[in-house]
Structure 1
Amino acid sequence: MNENLFASFAAPTMMGLPVVMLIIMFPSILFPTPKRLINNRIVAIQQWLINMIMKQMMNIHNAKGRTWALMLVSLITFIGTTNLLGLLPHTFTPTTQLSMNLAMAIPLWAGTVVVGFRHKTKASLAHFLPQGTPIPLIPMLVIIETISLFIQPMALAVRLTANITAGHLLIHLIGSATLALMSISPTTASITFIILILLTILEFAVALIQAYVFTLLVSLYLHDNT
């Protein structure tokens, strides 16, 4: 039972070779590119969504922060589409892997920190020691603030991994319970099936919300350092 429950989170392989890179690149194929002066409805909706996301993300940033606009829009688009595709049957969700989420979170977090130390050196160092701190507490507060700074990418990755994994596990458990109850109690099976449908709808929302939260936190880290 445990093997079946967590089998969907194992990275797929083909002829002994991992195919995660192909899965990661697959969502980019789904986005249409404009080839005419007049776009069709799908391209128009896609451009409207991108412009709305960019406007929402860039409102709080100055000129230096807005140079990250393409990175942030690409990030939320990639995570959102990957999460949504992972809800399809017999698919693999790369964002359930902590290693991949860390690979996204650490470089982005490190980039914001480097930008902060480059352009706002005094302000960045001031975060390690709040103003008015008593002298005996200075070493302890510096250590605590340093630890909290280095925990930020871990918190980003774990939040995304935990939310996506928990949703997939719930869907798998309730789906298995529905199949098991069909031959025992059709009425109870119908109730669990309705719960399964509602949970699936919720997971579609969670997939988009988690992409937004991940990107928003990166955007806030960038705002604090520019």
Structure 2
Amino acid sequence: MMLSFFDQFMSPTLMGIPLIALAIALPWVLYPTPTTRWLNNRVLTLQSWFINRFTQQLLLPINQGGHKWATIFVSLMIFLLTINILGLLPHTFTPTTQLSLNMGLAVPLWLATVIIGMRNQPTHALGHLLPEGTPTPLIPVLIIIETISLFIRPLALGVRLTANLTAGHLLIQLIATAAFVLAPMMPTVAILTTSILFLLTLLEVAVAMIQAYVFVLLLSLYLQENV
């Protein structure tokens, strides 16, 4: 019996208990905890350097009020980056291929940026719905369009992350299946297919890192508009 290619995206279960919570919590065990020593080892030093550089680049265009989000953005970036890359290992499960998880991350964070804008500067926040100098007959249409685009933002965040990772995993499985089937019949073609699979895997590692960064970057841009 042939299994569906989409079976790899089903949440794993043990005795009927979903293990997605374990898959989400496991990445945090992989990172060393900073110590109170004056000198740390190379891993902790490299980890601190990466976090500092990422925080500096991400929060550079944001006003002072948005710097309170630094911990949330860095934690989200490390979380998404880790589970995206771990999902490329054989016999693993990628939680970020589930739209429910991605929407659960995107909607509350996007809504928080909107609420902050409405609370701190309501006039400026509402001003995004109507560009300056708009002709009077177009005002209702533009307000409707801008409102729809505002509410589509979290959907775009979640769907972008889900679609990119799902498409990459499907391509890897399709090419790996083709190489396995062609190996006994056409070894030369199978070797060529395997080399393509290797290059695609490198591309997927890059996509896993880029999509985690894009998710956090777009959230920072939404925050920048409302701070």
Q: Same fold (TM over 0.5)?
A: yes
Give aligned pairs, total: 226
1:47-69 Cα shifts (integer Å, max 9, x gaps): 11111110110101111110100
Cα offset, 1:44, TM superposition? 1.0
1:120 deviates by 1.4
Instruction: Output aligned runs, 1:109-120, within 5 Å.
Output: 109-120=110-121
Aligned to 1:64, what secondary structure does the other structure show? helix
Gaps of 5+ in 2: none
Name the structure 1 match of 2:8: 8
Aligned partners of 2:132 and 2:48: how far apart in 1?
45
Does 1:65 pair with 2:72? Answer: no
> How far, CA to CA, are the matches of 2:139 and 2:34 in structure 1?
57
Per-residue displacement from partner, 1:173-196 (whole Å, max 9, x unpaired)?
Answer: 000000001001000000000000
Distance (whole Å) between structure 1 residues aligned to residue 117 and residue 226 of structure 2: 4
For residue 134 of structure 2, what is the aligned residue in structure 1?
A: 133
Q: Which residue of 2 aligns with 1:203?
A: 204
1:31 maps to 31
Query: Which residue of structure 1 aligns with residue 86 of structure 2?
Result: 85
Where do 1:41-190 residues align within 5 Å?
41-190=42-191
TM-score with structure 1 length normalisation? 0.97
Show CA shifts across 1:66-105 (max 9, x none): 0100000011110000100000100000000011000000
Q: Which moved more, 1:96-105 or 1:119-128?
A: 119-128
SS of equivalent to 2:106: helix
Q: CA deviation at 1:136?
A: 1.6
Gapped regions of structure 1 (runs ≥ 5): none
The percent identity for this pair of structures is 56
What is the alpha-carbon distance in structure 2 between the residues aligned to residue 132 and residue 169 of structure 1?
Answer: 47
Give, as a single letter, the amino acid of the residue that structure 1 aligns with 2:102.
N
Secondary structure of the residue aligned to 1:130 is coil
TM-score (norm 2): 0.97
